[in-house]
Amino acid sequence: MKHFGEDTWEFIQDDRFVQWVLFPDATNTLWWEQWMAAHPERVPVLEKARSMVLALGKSSKPVAVNEMLLEEVYAVLDHHLQEERRVEKSAPIRRMLHYRWWGVAAAVLGGVVLGFIYLKKDNKMLVAEKLKSHIEDQQLIRENTTNVNQVAYLTDGSSVVLKAGASIKHALFLWHSQREVYLKGDAFFDIAKDATRPFFVYTPELGIRVLGTSFNVSEKNGSLTITVKTGKIAVYNLADKQQHTYIVTPNHQIRFNTRTAAFVADSLDNRQLAAIQPATEVPSFVFDNTPVTTIFNALEAAYGIKINASEEVFGKCMITTTITNESFEDKLKIICAAINAGYTIRGDQVYITGKPCS
């Protein structure tokens, strides 16, 4: 094949290599710099593989990927998949090792699957966006700077769909006796039940007390509207020293006029209630024979929490799991149990410890 020699493919199916190219950090960059210094004769092939991974995995410009190259990628993947299936039949016990490259291929082809296939069909690009996040005064701040809804996960098992321009601020791990989130903009909340630790959402004008429910908060023309889908909430004006509380039940909403400080309650029919549910589906974390480092990266992106897991130690660990409504720490426990590892939380980061997988 024109682009893919065995030496090039050797790099592309190496998950450490793909991780370095697409998600470089100090650790993997140092490792590959040392490797290039020790193998100068292979640097030209490495650079060729690197440019191909970048083109396929990160480019937002469709012209950057040659159509023939794209077809060749699929041909190579198909060839190797057939070969791995043949090997599996003769030695099924080694399936975990032989299929290791498949997760890597998926990472390499992320840009193709999410973008170029759609481009070929209807000339539209599908772009995966992320929330901007940073820590300020021991509070995690996440902001949706895109034009589409984005999901922010909270460590207690709750989730928040942030609409365009919205942001939330909260204690990183929500360990306090009260779970508190500060909201700016419009958002849909799905709150995990915890009777011992009530959940509070604060806008600049209102306080919302929650025990376990789903509800929407929106602001328009000087009016704040809180609509309850399930459960029950209590709403009060933060400027009201007596804090008169208004209870809102399912299929109802309450509007607060920020100019007059007046509350108006409404009931909703099913059509109106459905309209406030965001189209964004909160995805499950479903992994099939996936490198555990890839899973940790996914959790890190979803929660905005740095997870330190050595590629050198855990790079060969592959697991299959589905984790959905669990809290952040329960997810960590499930994953660590699968690879006989442990975790510690220090400051604002998580550290994974354990032995390499065989």
CATH class for the region spanning 132-276:
mainly beta
Question: Distance between CA atoms of 255 and 235, rounded to whole angstroms?
Answer: 10
Q: Residue 309 in 3-state DSSP? A: coil
The two tokens of residue 264 are 């108006």
Cβ atoms 253, 227 nearer than 8 A: yes
pLDDT one-digit tens code per residue, 112-137: 333 332 333 333 322 334 788 999 88
Task: Specify the pLDDT at position 131.
Answer: 85
pLDDT one-digit tens code per residue, 49-72: 888 777 665 443 433 444 454 455
Task: Specify the pLDDT at position 13.
Answer: 67
Which of 3-12, 102-111, 295-304 shows the highest mean pLDDT? Answer: 295-304
Which of 7-21, 78-92, 272-286 shows the highest mean pLDDT? Answer: 7-21
Question: Distance between CA atoms of 24 and 44, rounded to whole angstroms?
Answer: 19
Q: Residue 348 in 3-state DSSP? A: coil
- Supply the DSSP symbol for 183: E
Distance of CA 284 to the CA centre of its chain: 10
Residue 99 above 50 pLDDT? no
Question: Distance between CA atoms of 207 and 161, rounded to whole angstroms?
Answer: 19
Band (pLDDT 50/70/90 cuts) for residue 224 is: very high
Task: Specify the pLDDT at position 251.
Answer: 87
Four-residue CA torsion sign, 277, 278, 279, 282: negative
Specify the fold of 285-353.
Answer: Phage tail protein beta-alpha-beta fold (3.55.50)
Cβ atoms 3, 69 nearer than 8 A: yes
Question: Distance between CA atoms of 325 and 247, rounded to whole angstroms?
Answer: 27
Task: Specify the pLDDT at position 155.
Answer: 94
What phi and psi values does residue 255 have, to the nearest 5 degrees? -110, 135
Average pLDDT rounded to a whole number, residues 29-36: 87
Cα Rg of the chain, angstroms: 24
The two tokens of residue 133 are 């996040």
Average pLDDT rounded to a whole number, residues 9-19: 74
Name which of 198-212, 231-245, 283-297, 309-323 the model is least confident about: 283-297
pLDDT one-digit tens code per residue, 231-282: 999 999 999 888 889 999 988 999 999 899 999 998 887 777 777 766 555 5
Q: Are strands 206-210 and 199-202 parallel, antiparallel or unpaired?
A: antiparallel
Name which of 9-13, 105-109, 218-222, 232-236 the model is least confident about: 105-109
Task: Specify the pLDDT at position 105.
Answer: 46
Average pLDDT rounded to a whole number, residues 161-173: 94
Band (pLDDT 50/70/90 cuts) for residue 25 is: confident
Catalogue the E-assigned strands of the chain.
132-136, 139-143, 150-153, 159-162, 167-171, 179-184, 187-190, 199-202, 206-210, 214-220, 223-230, 233-237, 245-248, 252-257, 263-267, 285-291, 306-308, 318-323, 342-346, 349-353
3-state helix, strand and coil shares in percent for the chain, rounded to the nearest 5: 40, 30, 35
The whole-chain average pLDDT of the chain stands at: 78
Domain limits, the chain: 6-122, 132-276, 285-353
pLDDT one-digit tens code per residue, 288-312: 889 999 999 989 988 999 999 999 9
Report which of 282, 276, 278 is spatially closest to residue 151, judged by C-alpha positions. 282
Residue 36 above 60 pLDDT? yes
Q: Are strands 199-202 and 179-184 parallel, antiparallel or unpaired?
A: parallel
Task: Specify the pLDDT at position 24.
Answer: 79
Band (pLDDT 50/70/90 cuts) for residue 96 is: very low
The two tokens of residue 198 are 């009530």
The answer to pTM > 0.85 is: no
Cβ atoms 292, 305 nearer than 8 A: no
Task: Specify the pLDDT at position 321.
Answer: 87
